[in-house]
Amino acid sequence: MGKKGELVQSVLDILQTLVKIERVQDSISPEAEAAMRRDFETGNYVQCIKRIRANFNMRVPLKAEYVGDGKLPLPGRPVGSPAVVYLPAYMPLFGTEQFNSLLITMRINRLLLTTRYELFVTAVAHELSHVLLYGLHHPLCESEVATDLLPMLFGFAEIRRRIYDWDAVDRLGYLKRSQFKAAYHWVRACQPRTPPEQRAESLKKLIRYQNEE
């Protein structure tokens, strides 16, 4: 296995651990995504965040704050953070009354509100992954790579794929392009509604990625 193959295998190993949290879900339905997009494009960002949160099966209250006019990281050029979630020193266990009554603050760079819908959703989903992993007291809660991968299990893989389609960059967030492609096809092969022929094609690509030098 070459260097690229090792990078690919590292994310597949993480996915095998994360899938124990939740079985791989199908992509977000066209109707649900249309509602999220409509909320974003009409400036109803809080409602958009709530819809994203619902896909994680979380009820924890969220407070959104819009801050700064500084540099917003572009795909492949991480400078600062488009969004940050603030968690308590000790996180109550996910699903408990204490967790569900905890007010979580998410600070969002105002420039993120003027960019593509897909970038907004991806940034918010990443931060909500932090909330879920810390709430589960998961061993990978401090892994940014795991936090990037987790939304893909909850239906956000297609939304993130579109970002890679329009931006010819080697990295977005904490995943290199090769790692994302492998993770995408792993998720696609596991999704219940993926047609058998597409599942077989994704598995073929996975094998190829794992053997790249």
DSSP code string of 15-69: HHHHTTTSPPPPPPPHHHHHHHHHHHHTT-HHHHHHHHHHHTT----EEEEEE--
pLDDT of residue 105: 92
Q: What is the pLDDT of residues 112-155, one digit of tens each?
A: 898 899 999 999 999 999 999 999 999 999 999 999 999 999 99
Amino acid at 126: H
Cα–Cα nearest to 18, from 122, 132, 159:
132
**3-class SS of residue 77:** strand
Cα–Cα distance between 113 and 47 in angstroms, integer?
13
Cα–Cα distance between 70 and 82 in angstroms, integer?
10
Asked whether the predicted pLDDT for residue 5 surpasses 80, the reply is no
Lowest mean per-residue pLDDT among 51-65, 111-125, 133-147, 171-185: 171-185
Average pLDDT, the chain: 88
Helix (H) or strand (E) holding 106: strand 104-109
Neighbours of 3 (CB within 10 A): 10
Cα–Cα distance between 211 and 89 in angstroms, integer?
42
Classify strands 104-109 and 62-67 as parallel, antiparallel or unpaired. Answer: parallel
pTM for the complete prediction?
0.89
Lowest mean per-residue pLDDT among 62-66, 71-75, 200-204: 71-75
Asked whether the predicted pLDDT for residue 19 surpasses 80, the reply is yes
